[in-house]
Amino acid sequence: MPDAQWIENMKRIMLQAVEAGDPCDFIPGTVVSVSPAAVQIDQKTTVKGSQVLVPRRLTDHTETMVIPQLGEVDVTVKNGLKPGERVLLLQKKGGQQYLVLERW
């Protein structure tokens, strides 16, 4: 089978899989609270607690860094979400969990 035909077949298979599964949705939201995490999606819907997954990079956390001539140093990264910030959520199929992808 020529390469171009194989690539086209793979594209077709992938598109069919995505269309059949409808794996997720991207949804804008607004942070309502941080602890526990709560994000308002629309006037009637707020997701909170274990429904909201916040990646470490969007939290205040400590990182260990190696700095030449100083060695290992613990640094506090202040990157936590704040109430009122707009975020982009990735909704897991079925709508039970939402991953915060980024603020915007």
**Among the listed residues 55, 62, 56, 69, the one whose alpha carbon sits nearest the alpha carbon of residue 101:** 55
pLDDT classification of 81: cutoffs 50, 70, 90:
very high
Question: What is the model's pLDDT at position 30?
Answer: 98
Q: What is the DSSP letter of 85?
A: -
**Residue 79 lies in domain:** 24-103
**10 in any annotated domain:** no
**54 in any annotated domain:** yes
Helix residue ranges per DSSP H, 1-104: 3-21
Residues 98, 18: Cα–Cα separation, whole Å: 19
pTM: predicted TM-score of the whole model, two decimal places: 0.72
Question: What is the model's pLDDT at position 3?
Answer: 73
Question: What's the CATH code of the domain at 87?
Answer: 2.40.50
Tens digits of per-residue pLDDT, 1-52?
567 788 788 887 777 766 666 667 889 999 999 989 999 999 999 999 999 9
Number of domains in the chain: 1
Q: Is the pLDDT of residue 66 over 70?
A: yes
Q: What is the DSSP letter of 37?
A: T
**36 in any annotated domain:** yes
Question: What is the model's pLDDT at position 18?
Answer: 63
pLDDT classification of 67: cutoffs 50, 70, 90:
very high
β-bridge mates for residue 38, sequence order: 33, 48
Read off the pLDDT of each residue in 72-85 and give the average, rounded to a whole number.
96
User: What average pLDDT does the chain have?
Assistant: 88
